[in-house]
Structure 1
Amino acid sequence: MRPFDPKVLRTLPEARRPLATLAAVGVAQGVATVATAFALSGVVVAVVRGADLVTPATWLAALFLARGLLALTAERVAASAGVAVSSGARGRLLRRWLAVPADLRPDPARALVLADQGAASVEPYVARYLPALVTAAVVPPLAVVVLAVVDWRSALVVVLTLPLLPLFAALIGATTRDATARRWQALSALSGHFLDVVRGLPTLVAYGRAQRQTEVVGEVSQRHRRATMATLRLAFLSSAALELLATICVAIVAVTVGLRLSHGGLDLGTALVAILLAPEAYWPVRRVGAEFHSAADGAEALALLTAQLDSPEAPTATGAAEPTLARVVAEGLTYTHPGATHPVIDGLDLTAGVGLTVVTGPSGVGKSTLLELLAGLRAPSHGCVVAPRTHLVTQRPFLTPGSVRANLTLGTDPQTSTEALWAALRRVGLDGPVAALPSGLDSTLGDDGRGLSAGQRARLVLARALLGDATVVLLDEPTAHLDPASVATVHEVVTELAERRCVVVVTHRSELVALADQHLHLRPAAVAA
């Protein structure tokens, strides 16, 4: 990532206006600082000479007030811009991932880190580092020009020493960039491993391997801690080095000005202006160095965000069909998992209309993959799929942390009446358990539907499919976690749906196969209907 890449403004359009505002405020602050140097020197000279203090003191107070208002404006704009940019980046990233097949999305661990901490770390980069960069490009030349008019010798010293700061900042920044990249790799590894451990915790406990995974998570955490501390040490050392270098440069200006002032070669007012302006030529560069370290994570995350958002559009996995046509057609459908050498589905032809189509086959043969291909979540390696908008219910359906009502209306009409919601719950046999909750439909569920059993979650998403208006419904093992009575209820609901919609169900139950209008049996390395 370069110090400033114009692609940032294309990738994050929310940053354009606040960045322009912050840059303008930074330039105004630089102008006010230069004016303050003249006003302050005027006050000191007036005190030494016993002249009238009203005019210079008034100017000085007005400039201090203006600088305070400018600083307040900068903080307010930076705070609001940071939130807008990080939330905009996260939303754009999620929309991008939802628009492409699953094969083209990053792995869940990397995606989680990028959408969570990555989008949040963009905030200091856009709200603080980039405005500081613009200020550093404007204020030092302005200070040097004013110094050249006031005292050309001091300006010459500044011109000769000022390039040392960006040179050292660039050298240190390159090391910081590498350290930050290592830290992001460690964080991604930690997040991925922790996510896998949490998902497989019941299995690990059942086989007595949970303690070993605790040790592995501890080792990965220590690696991330060491990478973070190394980055922080580098940031502190580089900031100290830049401060020391700037202090030496300002001291050179102060010594030369002091010697000429003591020998009568410079008047007091000019000397004060030169001494006050010299630090202002170095300060913006020092601030860029400091902000770069605080925004280094944002720069690394922004490079990854830009790579994700600027990647070429993927071929659509599902062809266009009439929006209201309850029909799915797959011709010569072949799919190979990324990195695999043999296709999991090879040359499948399928035509399904209104009615119930049941898909069976041994585990691992590609039944769930077939539903994802029909839903457009994956792009086929060969062949094509033509289908309207579908409603897919997976074995692990998505439930948001929110109310039962919000989960029922997710992806459907949020204004659905309460009576219709209760009717759908009653149809799947879930009205009693929901009514028993503290607030009924307004009861809040936890993450992944916590508060309901696995079987109740399966029936809740089936009720959501009943409320939806998609003409094609895809169900993956809808009775996997249900008792016999609930299984019979779900089979009735599925057959009812199939009376007016195209329903494709993956199942292992012979009872549902007996109710099917069409039966597709998948076999390894061959597909037969």
Structure 2
Amino acid sequence: MRPLDPRLLRAAPAARRPVAALAVVGVLQGLATVATAFALAALVVAAVRGEPLREASLSLAALLALRAGLAWTAERTAARAGARVTAALRTALLRHWLTVPAERRPDPDRGGVLAAQGVAAVEPYAARFLPALVSAAVVPAAALVALLVVDPVSALVVVLTLPLLPAFAALIGMATRDDTARRWASLSALSGHFADVVRGLPTLVGYGRAERQAEVVGEVSRRHRTATMRTLRTAFMSSAALELLASISVAIVAVTVGLRLTHGTVDLGTGLLAILLAPEAYWPVRRVGAAFHDAADGAEAVADVLAAIDGDPAVADGAATGRSGVERSGAGRSGVDVRLEDVTYTYPGAASPVLAGLDLAAGPGLTVLTGPSGCGKTTVLELVAGLRTPDTGSVRAGRTHLVTQRPFLPAGTLREVLRLGSDADDPALWDALRAVGLDGFVAALPAALDTRVGDDGVGLSAGQRARVVLARAMLSDAPVLLLDEPTAHLDPAASALVHDVLARLAERRTVLVVTHRPELVARADRHLTLAARPVEALR
């Protein structure tokens, strides 16, 4: 966890301008504060000496108005910068995960925490901490230079005491880093356990173990709460320590100025300027300490996000150009060959490979892949689609469109769901819906294609979701279609309709389908059976 990681702006270039603008505004605020000290001292001295106050009052009023305008600008810019940095970083993270094979992606639970709470925690880091860090590098130096010109003795006191603040802040920051790391670990554990419980809730209820899991979730929540309170306690104590140290340092300046005023070795204007400028040398450093505690989660999240993005540059580069043993070709052709040669694949953490020495060949037409559950049929489709990279061997295929057992349906209108991945017009959408037998259902909806569905197809039945994604596959121009159990949620009549659609698609494309339906096997041009060992061509 570093206070400033330059990789952040490289990973999210859209955030450079708002963050730079926020830093500039912060520096201007500090310089305006120094100028305000001069104006206020001049006004007080003029009042004590009975001199005209007009010029000094106008200068002070103008500087106060400028500071108010800068404060308003800083708030607006901070909100914009935080939102842009968060959006840009989340986009970069998700884009990276989409370009690497599945085995290089994080665990879904950890990935969900990182992309949601983690990236959201970056907002105060970018909007508050980074500008405070820039101000702390510029404003104390400006205040110190002004003090050196006005009162060298006070400047010497500040020079001797100011380094204590960043030194103590660094020591406290190391403790905060450890507490924050523990808190993130507890949050990931809580998120992962809760997600596991939700996924397995039907089974737990069936075996009467649901209530026991409530106790376990409560215990994990207690550990997360304890870690959070420990972090907050450290933040409050460190802020108090920095405030105390800065107050003592300013008091030393005030005491020396007071003694010299008593002995007449310094005039009122100089002494007042020294007392007003000294806090401005310490304030930016105190602000950095306070902002760092507010943004500690964001700093930890930035480190994790950048580690995820930069963790394996070779993989990220290879995703776009064709990785070891993976070739993409045949864009625009009506159908291309799919070939796996001597492919071995092992899931991360598994003791033995799920596929070993696999050879598979499929050309234009309908090819069905069958085999017992767990033998690697879905893995074959993911290898062909480029979602996974084989340990050994080679995979050659054209551009693919994959329909998984749980396909992605975003929240939006039916038109948007169907057009995901294509630019088909409305007549083409209706043709696809007619082919899968959903045209009557959609036409009967009040808004037809403009009907909104929820995330993951909420509002549609399992069979309707299956046919919607099949219609979306028909609209794709990919020469290779991969489908994993496309009729798993359909009745016999709807399954027969889908089988007809697949047979028509196979007339002009390469269609590879994983299925247990003997009706589809009977209509296939090629039937491949996947067992514990390589695929055997039966027809």
TM-score, length basis structure 1: 0.97
* Residues 16-25 or 150-159, more deviating: 16-25
Aligned 8 A contact 1:344 1:525 in 2: no
Q: Distance in 2 between matches of 1:411 and 1:210?
A: 41
- Which position in structure 1 is the counterpart of 2:139? 139
- Which position in structure 2 is the counterpart of 1:384? 394
- Which position in structure 2 is the counterpart of 1:409? 419
Q: Distance in 2 between matches of 1:400 and 1:183?
A: 32
Q: Distance in 2 between matches of 1:42 and 1:241?
A: 33
Deviation digits for residues 106-165 of structure 1, max 9, x if unmatched? Answer: 010111111111111112112211111111111112211211211111111111111111
- Which position in structure 1 is the counterpart of 2:502? 494
Equivalent residue pairs, number = 527
SS of 2:175's partner is helix
Change in Cα spacing, 1:418 to 1:334, as seen in structure 2 (3 Å) is same
Structure 1 position 208, deviation (Å): 2.6
Aligned 8 A contact 1:402 1:445 in 2: yes
Ranges of 4+ aligned residues in structure 1 off by more than 6 Å: none
Q: Distance in 2 between matches of 1:453 and 1:55?
A: 76
SS of 1:520's partner is strand
Q: Distance in 2 between matches of 1:309 and 1:217?
A: 31
Deviation digits for residues 336-370 of structure 1, max 9, x if unmatched? Answer: 11122322112222221210101000000000000
SS of 1:168's partner is helix
- Which position in structure 2 is the counterpart of 1:313? 314
Q: Does 1:400 align with 2:449?
A: no
| Counterpart among 320, 344, 362 of residue 354 in structure 2 | 344
Q: Does 1:243 align with 2:243?
A: yes
Q: Distance in 2 between matches of 1:476 and 1:525?
A: 20
Q: Does 1:418 align with 2:426?
A: yes
Question: In the TM superposition, what are the counterparts of 1:231-380 in structure 2 within 5 Å?
Answer: 231-311=231-311, 312-314=313-315, 315=318, 316=323, 318-325=326-333, 326-327=335-336, 328-380=338-390
- Which position in structure 2 is the counterpart of 1:459? 467
Structure 1 unaligned segments of length 5 or more: list them: none
SS of 2:524's partner is coil
Change in Cα spacing, 1:422 to 1:206, as seen in structure 2 (3 Å) is farther
Deviation digits for residues 427-478 of structure 1, max 9, x if unmatched? Answer: 1112233334442222221221111111111111111111111111001011
Change in Cα spacing, 1:427 to 1:207, as seen in structure 2 (3 Å) is farther
SS of 1:452's partner is coil
Q: Distance in 2 between matches of 1:526 and 1:215?
A: 46
SS of 1:479's partner is coil
- Which position in structure 1 is the counterpart of 2:114? 114
Q: Distance in 2 between matches of 1:241 and 1:479?
A: 66
Deviation digits for residues 188-226 of structure 1, max 9, x if unmatched? Answer: 111112222222223333333222222222221221111
Aligned 8 A contact 1:357 1:503 in 2: yes
Aligned 8 A contact 2:15 2:88 in 1: no
- Which position in structure 2 is the counterpart of 1:427? 435
SS of 2:10's partner is helix
Letter of the 2:409 partner, please give it.
L
- Which position in structure 1 is the counterpart of 2:89? 89
Letter of the 1:62 partner, please give it.
A
- Which position in structure 2 is the counterpart of 1:478? 486
SS of 1:523's partner is coil
Aligned 8 A contact 2:29 2:70 in 1: yes
Q: Distance in 2 between matches of 1:90 and 1:226?
A: 28
SS of 2:483's partner is strand
Structure 2 unaligned segments of length 5 or more: list them: none
Aligned 8 A contact 2:253 2:275 in 1: yes
Structure 1 position 497, deviation (Å): 0.9
* Residues 91-100 or 319-328, more deviating: 319-328
Letter of the 2:367 partner, please give it.
T
Aligned 8 A contact 2:330 2:479 in 1: no
Kindly report the root-mean-square deviation, in angstroms, between the aligned alpha carbons of the 2 structures. Answer: 1.4
Aligned 8 A contact 1:345 1:527 in 2: no
Aligned 8 A contact 2:402 2:481 in 1: yes
Letter of the 2:219 partner, please give it.
E
Q: Does 1:149 align with 2:149?
A: yes
SS of 1:3's partner is coil
Structure 1 position 526, deviation (Å): 4.0
Q: Distance in 2 between matches of 1:150 and 1:470?
A: 74
Aligned 8 A contact 1:125 1:292 in 2: yes
Aligned 8 A contact 2:503 2:523 in 1: yes
Letter of the 1:350 partner, please give it.
L
- Which position in structure 2 is the counterpart of 1:440? 448
Q: Distance in 2 between matches of 1:485 and 1:2?
A: 61
Deviation digits for residues 389-443 of structure 1, max 9, x if unmatched? Answer: 1110111111112221111111111xx3323222211211122333344422222
Structure 1 position 237, deviation (Å): 1.3
Aligned 8 A contact 2:11 2:92 in 1: no
Q: Distance in 1 between matches of 2:395 and 2:209?
A: 43
Aligned 8 A contact 1:346 1:527 in 2: no
- Which position in structure 1 is the counterpart of 2:217? 217
Q: Distance in 2 between matches of 1:173 and 1:438?
A: 58
Q: Distance in 2 between matches of 1:367 and 1:172?
A: 53
Letter of the 1:475 partner, please give it.
L
Deviation digits for residues 247-267 of structure 1, max 9, x if unmatched? Answer: 111111111111211222211
Aligned 8 A contact 1:367 1:522 in 2: yes
* Residues 478-487 or 202-211, more deviating: 202-211
Change in Cα spacing, 1:207 to 1:441, as seen in structure 2 (3 Å) is farther
- Which position in structure 2 is the counterpart of 1:509? 517
- Which position in structure 2 is the counterpart of 1:165? 165
Aligned 8 A contact 2:239 2:289 in 1: yes
SS of 1:319's partner is strand
- Which position in structure 1 is the counterpart of 2:203? 203
Aligned 8 A contact 1:22 1:131 in 2: yes
Q: Distance in 2 between matches of 1:6 and 1:504?
A: 46
TM-score, length basis structure 2: 0.95
Aligned 8 A contact 1:36 1:63 in 2: yes
Structure 1 position 10, deviation (Å): 1.8
Aligned 8 A contact 2:332 2:477 in 1: no
